[in-house]
Amino acid sequence: MTVDFEGQGFRVYPQATPELRGKVEKALDHIRPALVADGGNIELVDIVDGVVRVRLKGACGSCPSAAVTLKQGVERTLKERVQGIIGVEAL
């Protein structure tokens, strides 16, 4: 686990264990049908210090709404379903 001592408190980030990756993949499987319906997809690349790194594929990779989808759809869902996730970034 990684500990961040910025500010007054500290935050403990989960390591990218197989269990955590499985939980993130399961949450992405919940999102994936909507992306596939629009001609896209999402791939889990890595999890670093609570940030999920993904690759948007197909139509999602070049969609002007990709940033909104990433923050309001993917990130929100992952934060709700997987404890310790603090954000999502596209590679």
Q: Average pLDDT in the 37-45 region?
A: 94
The average pLDDT across 44-64 equals 92
Q: Count how many residues are written for the chain.
A: 91
In whole angstroms, give the CA distance from residue 84 to residue 90. Answer: 18
Q: To the nearest whole number, what is the mean pLDDT of the chain? A: 87
Q: Which residue has the higher pLDDT, 34 or 3?
A: 34
pLDDT band with cut points at 50, 70 and 90 for residue 2:
very low
pLDDT more than 90, % of the chain: 65
Question: Could you tell me the domains of the chain?
Answer: 14-90 (3.30.300.130)
pLDDT(61) > 70:
yes
Two tokens, residue 39? 């001609």
